[in-house]
A and B are shown apart, each in its own frame.
Chain A
Amino acid sequence: MSGPLLEIEELSVSFPSDAGALPAVRSVGFAIAPGQTVALVGESGSGKSVTALAAMGLLPPSTRVSGSVRFEGRELLRLAPSELRKVRGGSIAMVFQEPMTSLNPVLRIGRQIEEVLALHRGFDAVRARAEAIELLGHVGIASPERRVDQYPHELSGGMKQRVMLAMAVAGRPKLLIADEPTTALDVTIQAQILKLLRTLCREQNMALLLITHDFGIVAHFAEQVNVMYGGKIVERAPVVPLFASPSHPYTRALLAAMPRAELGRARLEAIPGRVPALDQMPAGCPFAPRCKLAFDRCVEMPPLSRVLGDSTGQHVACWAVETETT
């Protein structure tokens, strides 16, 4: 199949509040090709999780979502609820940040996996149970035939996230959305889970939308990177040029703030200030108040996303970069 698997265009999300609508995501657009791994990077509050939840139709009904989310050419935002449910958990699966609270505490693990198998692959009870055990073994859980009858509280955090992954791949999805899948876990467990995630993607030729704040994970995993700030994508680039020559001042600052072994004693730079609150979003570039390069136009007008001239596939939304290069 040619063309992108998932294509998001002009996606905007706002939450209603007493002070008017609060924009959480503003005109976001990116695409994922089949089997590709794309990262969505940013600090907490940058709108990356909201983007994913909006695409899946999982935000509360009071939220206003506009734009377009096309999956295999079908517009998800205008799909009938029953059709959308077939996509959710079937073609697109999702793994969340908190394995502790994301599994239902009163249902056996097996039952929670079997549910997906029955719903999206039409398995009967016996086959579903066998497949659930198989899946548990496949995600690296020892003695799965015993674990299948246990409850979530009897498992460790890492094991719960493995169960979440088993549940996610049970529907044979073409796209997996992983929202900070390792943030809540210990460092050693993080590496194991990431490795498992990569194996699963390769085996099933599954595309991955990886939502994270960790550039280390991005560097190891992603092919394409979208950097989000203040509800906007400020820079989009393939992983190699992004790390080699970050263009947006925010990306540069983030990378400078990341400790790296090869830099040795080089100074780590913190970004002054904090992410603006939703009701205090600047009119111009969201990063302008914290940006060292900001000038008048940055505060007045939001910059448009432009392709950088050097054919590396880098897109940047920044007035300063634009004036630098032209």
Chain B
Amino acid sequence: MNDGSSDPEQLGERRTPFGEVWQVFRRDRLAMTGLVALAVLVVCALLGKLLTEWWVVIDPATVRLPDKLRPPLSGPSEVIGAERLPEFGFYLFGTDDLGRSVFARMLQGSFVSLTIGLVSVGISVGIGVLLGGIAGYYGERKFLFVRIDAWIMRFTDVALCFPTFFLILTVVALLPPSIFNIMIVIGVTSWMGTARFIRAEFLSLRERDFVLAARALGLPSWRLIFRHMVPNALSPVFVSATIDVARAVLTESALSFLGFGVQPPYATWGNILADGRAFLFDAPWLFLIPGSAILLIVLAFNLVGEGLREAMNPKLRRARA
């Protein structure tokens, strides 16, 4: 055994688990950049919701046909009346083919895109934890002569056999287009990884000393599950959920590209990007601005997720030892 390896672990025992993760995470420059970017996005999304819907200062739906396809930073023409002037008095991100301000639409879209990412991942993590937890904890019981574990895992196998994106595409195409359907479909088609992971984790946690001890004390199983097992299995799930949010945002943009995304009048980054494709050569900003925005935000989620994974890693290793 390497004598040195056991000692850095003793260093950490003086800090709380969260503080310890934060200590490692904070030194990861890429991950911190991602976290700042995410914070900015959340502020943008909330501001966007506030300013475009509840207290309309910036109206993304204002059509100004004389000012269509204006490049970024250009001012409005004289024919635009005072009530239809863009925010700040000029077009920060230019205008689209209807003369709508791209900045206003991006602002509105940030909330929708973020919601799609978070809600769909919430759904998939919920399903995954529920199914995986049941299979891992109550798996030995039988239902219709077959172990519950076998039922759930066979079902997971079946779900894994579908090509996810094609399945999403099929269902989204068949359902009436709505933002909720997209969130639900993305969520319902991506829980399998979480379920398998939680099951494996529960199976090993069940045999761990502290769970056995808690059971020997006669604690009720819900308390055992939610106080002792779920918190221990959740941190890696949190990491993969962060990365899944990134993936969901990408999926939404891909659906928009194929014409099955969120329908107008809702603006999402995905459908602004998909619409901009038609003006690729005439008005590249319509394409480059939402594309870069998606790239940056997905990158931020990925960097934060990877940073968390790194930061939690030594802890995981100790938990396993």
Contacts and interface: CB of A to CB of B under 8 A. Distances in A.
Interface of A: 15, 17-19, 22, 24, 44-50, 53, 97-98, 180, 277-279
Interface size class of B (residues with CB under 8 A): 10 to 19
Contacts of B11: 17, 19, 277, 279
Contacts of A46: 3
Contacts of B8: 17, 22, 278
B1 A44 contact: yes
Interface in B1-21: 1-4, 6-8, 10-11
Contacts of B4: 15, 22, 24, 50, 278
A279 B6 CA distance: 12
A22 B7 CA distance: 10
Contacts of A22: 4, 7-8
Interface string B80-117: 00000000000000000000000000000000000000
Contact of B7 (A45, A53, A97, A98): A45
B66 to A, nearest CB: 61
Given A53-B2, A278-B4, 12 more contacts: A18-B27, A24-B4, A44-B3, A45-B6, A48-B3, A49-B1, A49-B2, A49-B3, A97-B1, A278-B7, A278-B8, A279-B7
A277 B6 CA distance: 9
B2 A50 contact: yes
A25 to B, nearest CB: 9
A93 to B, nearest CB: 19
Interface of B: 1-4, 6-8, 10-11, 27
Nearest to B5: A15
B33 to A, nearest CB: 20
Contacts of A18: 27
A45 B9 CA distance: 12
A31 B98 CA distance: 87
Contacts of B3: 24, 44-50
Contacts of A44: 1, 3, 6
A18 B314 CA distance: 15
A175 to B, nearest CB: 21
A48 B6 CA distance: 14
A45 B3 CA distance: 5
The residue among B1, B4, B8 with the most chain A CB atoms within 10 A of its own CB is: B4
A213 to B, nearest CB: 11
Contacts of A24: 3-4
Contacts of B27: 18
B1 A180 contact: yes
A15 B9 CA distance: 14
Contacts of B10: 277
A53 B3 CA distance: 10
27 contacts: A17-B8, A17-B11, A18-B27, A19-B11, A22-B4, A22-B7, A22-B8, A44-B3, A44-B6, A45-B3, A45-B6, A46-B3, A47-B3, A49-B2, A49-B3, A50-B2, A50-B4, A53-B2, A97-B1, A98-B1, A180-B1, A277-B7, A277-B10, A277-B11, A278-B4, A278-B7, A279-B11
A113 B11 CA distance: 40
The residue among A44, A47, A180, A278 with the most chain B CB atoms within 10 A of its own CB is: A278
Contacts of A50: 2-4
A124 B2 CA distance: 35
A46 B3 CA distance: 7
A212 B7 CA distance: 19
A277 B3 CA distance: 11
A45 B10 CA distance: 12
Contacts of A49: 1-3
Nearest to A183: B1
A56 to B, nearest CB: 13
Nearest to B13: A277
A182 B166 CA distance: 57
B132 to A, nearest CB: 29
A180 B1 CA distance: 9
Nearest to A58: B2
Q: 6 nearest interchain CB pairs?
A: A278-B7, A277-B10, A24-B4, A50-B3, A15-B4, A49-B3
A98 B6 CA distance: 16
The residue among A44, A98, A277 with the most chain B CB atoms within 10 A of its own CB is: A277
Contacts of A53: 2
Contacts of B2: 49-50, 53
Nearest to A51: B3
Contacts of B1: 44, 49, 97-98, 180
A46 B7 CA distance: 11
Nearest to A179: B1
A47 B10 CA distance: 16
A44 B10 CA distance: 14
A257 B3 CA distance: 22
The residue among A24, A45, A47, A97 with the most chain B CB atoms within 10 A of its own CB is: A45
Contacts of B7: 22, 45, 277-279
Contacts of A48: 3
A45 B8 CA distance: 11
Contacts of A180: 1
Contacts of B6: 44-45
A120 B6 CA distance: 34
Contacts of A47: 3
Nearest to B24: A18
B128 to A, nearest CB: 32
A45 B1 CA distance: 9
B32 to A, nearest CB: 16
A22 B10 CA distance: 13
A46 B2 CA distance: 10
A24 B3 CA distance: 8
Contacts of A97: 1
Nearest to A97: B1
Contacts of A278: 4, 7-8
